Amino acid sequence: MKKFHGLVLIALLTSLIIPFSLAASAETNENGNNVTPTEDKSTDTTKNTITEDPSKTPEPPKEAPKTKTTEPQKNTTPTTIDITDSAEVYSYEQNDKIALKDFTDTLTTHTGTKLVNYRLAENSKLNTAEPGIHVITLLGENEEGKTTAVKLNYLVKEKTAQLTVTDMNFDLETKIFTGKTKPFASVYITSPVDENFGEGVTKADKDGNFYAQWATVPKKIFAYAFDEAGNFSEEVTYEVPTKKENDVVVKAPANVKKIETTNAVKSATAKPSTPKASKEDLPATGDQGVEWIFVVAGVIVILIAILLLRKRKK
């Protein structure tokens, strides 16, 4: 019984001591005198390193391709730049000179892209012979050396007449046609295709006056002027008067241009009569010419031959 009572006493004392020890430890934790057990720290740090490392390590490879894909986007230069719809149109007059430099000097302004080493594409040609809109393609390299095509157009306008033909007059007596144009310009002159047809080219003098003499009197004369620079005038029509309109005497140069063709010359000259032989060429009345001598001689020879044959027979 004594042993049993002793064990009960020890149990009671132990139950009293444990609450007090736990209360004391709690007070020390509140005052900050004690630190979290090392086992908890080690487990926390290991958890942190385990959770952070997997998230950080895959991020760099994901970001690397993103930077690579965004880099080409900086080069916004397209393969082909089309400015055919631009309000800026290069324009020329028909048969004007045209060169590649006319376009390349200002293309950077119109395209917003600087290119070098410009050249024409294979099927593109620069030409101003035909009026209208012409589309061409130029090739060049950008700063990265990439070939870029620029598609553009230019306008060719019909060349306007820059010369004139004025002061035209036709003298019915001298058949001289006169007018005025640019000094030293050439003048093409023609008339309708009829019995009075004629055509030719004359040249104006230092004062711009030109002269042309016709073989006949045409009803109309068409004329236009042109020079070596490619300038020309509109074709003008002159109605030839049926009677002399004024008494002004046309003073033409000695070497006036003759406007003649085969038809004009025939109609301008009298029909040639059949040439008559002179009296010296005609034989006298009853004279048959020298041929009768050979006829008489032949008859005499035949008669002599007949007489000789008869004598031999006798």
Question: Quick one: pLDDT band at residue 275, thresholds 50, 70, 90?
Answer: very low
Select the more confidently predicted residue: 141 or 250: 141
Quote the CA–CA distance of 119 and 251 in Å, as a whole number.
59
How is residue 84 written in tokens?
Answer: 């055919």
Quote the CA–CA distance of 99 and 51 in Å, as a whole number.
70
Contacts 24+ apart (CB under 8 A), 82-88: 82/151, 83/110, 83/111, 83/150, 83/151, 83/152, 84/135, 84/151, 84/152, 84/153, 86/110, 86/152
Provide the mean pLDDT of the chain: 74
The β-bridge partners of 238 are 221
Quote the CA–CA distance of 104 and 111 in Å, as a whole number.
11
pLDDT of res. 242: 85
Within 8 A by CB and 6+ apart from 187, the residues are: 165, 179, 181, 201, 202, 203, 204, 210, 212, 223, 224, 225
- pLDDT tens per residue, range 171-189: 998 899 999 999 999 999 9
The winner for highest mean pLDDT among 110-114, 269-273, 285-289 is: 110-114
Strand ordering across the sheet containing 257-259: 166-171, 176-180, 209-214, 257-259
For residue 202, is pLDDT > 70? yes
Mean pLDDT for the stretch of residues 149-155 = 93
Burial group, residue 149, by CB count within 10 angstroms (0-12, 13-18, 19+): middle
For residues 142 and 194, the answer to whether their CB atoms sit within 8 Å is no
- pLDDT tens per residue, range 37-85: 444 444 444 444 444 455 455 555 555 555 555 554 444 545 889 988 8
Comparing C-alpha atoms, which of 210, 128, 132, 203 is closest to residue 169?
Answer: 210
pTM for the model stands at 0.43
